[in-house]
Amino acid sequence: MTSTPSATPSGTFQLGGDLPVTRLGYGAMQITGEGVWGEPRDRAEAVAVLRRAVELGVTFFDTADSYGPNVSEEIIREALHPYADDVVIATKAGLTRTGPGEWIPVGRPAYLKQQVELSLRKLDVERIDLIQLHRIDAEVPVAEQVGAFKELQDAGKVRHIGLSEVSVAELEQAQETAEIVSVQNLFNLTDRSAEELLDHATAAGIAFIPWFPLATGGLVKDGGPLEKLAAEHDATPSQLALAWLLKRSPVMLPIPGTSTVSHLEDNVGAAAIELTDEQFAAMDAIA
């Protein structure tokens, strides 16, 4: 594509019915070091990626206190603060870090509240647009974990509440304590283990945020399953994989992450791709 890409053609979704976001977003896990630990290799490029994303019409940014930890949120503030009126930042709490690649669920209400207070400071905002429970802690009742966020919501420090890596039953259990406006599970063209949750979310009008939407590069590598189809459509495999997600459900909010401006621009180009039903079915068959 020779023209400047834009996320805008991906359409808009209203989080919680009142918070519009452009559907093709950005996941900020990769603007950290190896193992999602510490500083990125090139902090200036990470800042440039975030600023370029806004220029290209991306309004939905997904991060977490555990990315770095803290690093991702701090770079978002450095790059984007003061935030444009239409920029929506989703963050998460509920996983603590002991080293690169290590993630431990901690769902004690006092800890969750503390982490949200820290995220407010790191992002330099008065209210978190979307706080997500990063993982359900099996040692703590779900009502207590979600209830911690509900208390912060009632205090005006959280606008909306979401969940990450849950089943339909866990979603319904959480909904007994607070309104849940989004779920974030692993989902892509070749891993559809969360299909039941996606269908449930679609019917309920709840945002579905697929993490690893490109299967961490496996879908889009040279010789990968999408290479031939991409050539036929004058697109890249990454763009096709994202276009498939956007067509799969109107509640889908893909958040491809990258640490380079060039890769970001390629991903954003997916917003302009309109798959026919036949093309969608052909991609469906690949998996």
H-only helix segments in 126-194: 142-154, 168-175
Task: Encode pLDDT of 67-117 as tens digits.
Answer: 999 999 999 999 999 999 999 999 999 999 999 999 999 999 999 999 999
- Give the chain's mean pLDDT: 95
Residue 47 has pLDDT above 50, yes or no: yes
Name the percent of the chain lying above pLDDT 90: 86
What pTM did the predictor assign?
0.96
**Using one digit for the tens of pLDDT, what is the confidence trace for 127-161?**
999 999 999 999 999 999 999 999 999 999 999 99
Cα–Cα distance between 11 and 20 in angstroms, integer?
10
**In the structure, what pLDDT confidence band is assigned to residue 217 with cuts at 50, 70 and 90?**
low
What pLDDT, on a 0 to 100 scale, did the predictor assign at position 218?
A: 64
Statement: residue 1 has pLDDT above 60: no
Q: Which residues are catalytic?
A: 67
Q: Among all chains, which residue has been given the structure tokens 């890249």? A: 236
Name the pLDDT band for 216 (thresholds 50, 70, 90): low
Q: Give the residue, 201 or 238, on which the prediction is more confident.
A: 201
Average pLDDT over residues 123-127: 98
What is the structure's pLDDT at 264?
97
E strands of the chain, at which residues?
Answer: 12-15, 19-22, 26-27, 60-62, 88-93, 95-96, 104-105, 128-133, 158-164, 182-186, 207-211
Q: ω into residue 82 within 30 of 0, thus cis?
A: yes
How far lies 20's CA from each of 8, 45, 144, in Å?
Answer: 12, 28, 29
The rounded distance, in Å, linking the Cα atoms of 46 and 40 is 7
Q: Longest C-alpha distance within the chain, in Å?
A: 54
Q: What confidence tier does 234 reach under pLDDT thresholds 50, 70, 90? A: confident
